[in-house]
Structures are given as structure tokens and as C-alpha cells.
Amino acid sequence: MSLLEIKDLHCSIKGKEILKGVNLTVNKGEVHAIMGPNGNGKSTLAAIIAGKDIFEVTKGEVIYEGKNLLELSVEERAAEGIFLGFQYPVEIPGVSISNFMKTAINEQRKYKGLDPMPTMEFMKLMEEKKKIVELDAKLANRSVNEGFSGGEKKKNEIFQMAMLNPTLSILDETDSGLDIDALRIVASGVNALRSSENSTILITHYQRLLDYIVPDFVHVLFEGEIVKSGPKELALELEEKGYEWLR
């Protein structure tokens, strides 16, 4: 059974059709890159999988671990193992990262019928996972993303991913706004979390990220459809020829 199966997915926002029949299958252990120009539906696809309700799914289905994903609430999807790394992580003044993570972990545990994580264990986990993305110890006591630089925000996304240990991670333009050092750290964080038990969908429009996180498959999302799929070399070809080549 595939981890994620998207079949003929159509969706629109305010009457405008954005996705026009997307098909995608992701198995455990795979890394998929979805590329394509801006405004062609990449982030919409990510948001629909995560459960953002401003889109109307007009046709098609999304099956995750055999379940109809579109019927689950945002938080249920998270507890089922779906993680969205945001293109623009949200600032939440007054909520510390540790309080945020503790609440998230314990609510996910509650969903699974588990007791809250003991405080000592949680603290240990925080320490351990902070190292993966070289997250400044001081940042963890600050409010979520408040006053963070672009790089710190993206590191914080990967830190959260490490804490929550998802089965399917969708990283939406994680490379945007990163300098080369931050990109290297973020990418090595993602690579460190790769295993045969989880999968990653990378959304990007630059080949650059794929030098650091090597995908198993590359797909091109163009005008609401996946128009081309192939091995990692496809990304290089795209880089060379540009998206106009697809027309």
C-alpha cells in the first residue's frame, strides 16, 4: 500500500480552478521533489494535504495510509503523521517554542491514546533535536518565530519536524530566503531525518536545494497538472532548459 495516493485532484479557490487533475503516488522511504514556476499550484497542493480549508476540492481524492485524508481535520492529519514545513512560518508572540512543542507533542499523543510525555523526557528530546539544525539554545525560549531571521525560521521548521517525527513531510519552499550556510544546515537536518519509514515531498522551484537533498523522483507541476515526472536528472534538465521547454 502506498503511503500517499493523490488521484485526479481538482480544486479551486473563489471559483478559480488551481489544480486540474493532479495524480501522485508516494511510497514509504521515498523523497519526491515537486518543481514548477510560481503560481502553478505547488503550494496549493501542499496546503490541501495539510488541511487548509480555504480551497474547495471539486473532484478527486487523497488517500493516506488507506484513509480518506480529506475527511480529517488539520490537527488529526498532523497526529496521523503529516507535517507541513511552511514557506512563511507564522510568528506567534507570547507562545514559547517549548510550550508550543510540548502542547503539540502531547495533543498528538492524546490522539493516539498515550499519556503526556514526562517533562524530563521532553527536555531531553528538545536538547537532542535542537542539535540537528544547530538551533540556538536561546531561540527555544523565545516566542515562536517572533523576530527570527529567515534562516532561523526555516531551521525552526525542521526542528519541529524532528520533534514531531512525522511519516510524511511536505516542505514548501524550504530553501527560499536561505543563504548557502543556512541551506546546508536545513538540508543536512532533512537528510538526517530520512529513513525507510518516512517520506518527504520537497516543493521548490530551484534545482539548488536538490544538490543537497537528493530526490528519488522529480515532478513538474505546471498549470495545475503534473506534466512530467522522472528521476533526479529531470531537475537538471529543467534548470538548463527552463520551464518554457514544457510547453
Residues forming the site for other proteins (CB under 8 A): 50-52, 73-75, 77-79, 83-84, 86, 89-95, 99-101, 103-105, 107-108, 111, 143, 160, 164
* φ/ψ of residue 108, rounded to 5: -65, -40
Beta partners for 169?
Answer: 83, 200
Q: 85 or 207, CB closer to other proteins?
A: 85
Q: Least Å distance between CB 46 and other proteins?
A: 10
Q: Least Å distance between CB 181 and other proteins?
A: 26
Of the candidates 167, 137, 166, 168, the residue with the CA atom closest to the CA atom of residue 155: 137
User: From residue 219, how far is each of 23, 50, 95, 106, 116 by CA, in Å?
Assistant: 10, 19, 37, 35, 40
**Sign of the alpha-carbon torsion through 153, 188, 196, 200:** positive
Q: Least Å distance between CB 45 and other proteins?
A: 15
User: Counting beta carbons within 10 angstroms of the beta carbon of residue 10, is it exposed (0 to 12), middle (13 to 18) or buried (19 or more)?
Assistant: middle
Q: Least Å distance between CB 119 and other proteins?
A: 14
Classify 67 as helix, strand or coil.
Answer: strand
Long-range contacts of 132-136 (CB under 8 A, 24+ apart): 132/158, 132/159, 132/162, 132/189, 132/192, 132/193, 133/158, 133/159, 133/162, 133/185, 133/186, 133/189, 134/185, 135/159
Beta partners for 33?
Answer: 202, 218
Q: 159 or 222, CB closer to other proteins?
A: 159
Q: Least Å distance between CB 190 and other proteins?
A: 17
Q: 77 or 220, CB closer to other proteins?
A: 77
Q: Does residue 126 contact residue 160 with C-beta atoms inside 8 Å?
A: no
How many CB atoms sit inside 10 A of residue 224's CB?
A: 21
Q: Least Å distance between CB 101 and other proteins?
A: 8
Q: 163 or 182, CB closer to other proteins?
A: 163
Q: 8 or 75, CB closer to other proteins?
A: 75
Q: 78 or 234, CB closer to other proteins?
A: 78
Q: 1 or 90, CB closer to other proteins?
A: 90
Q: Least Å distance between CB 163 and other proteins?
A: 9
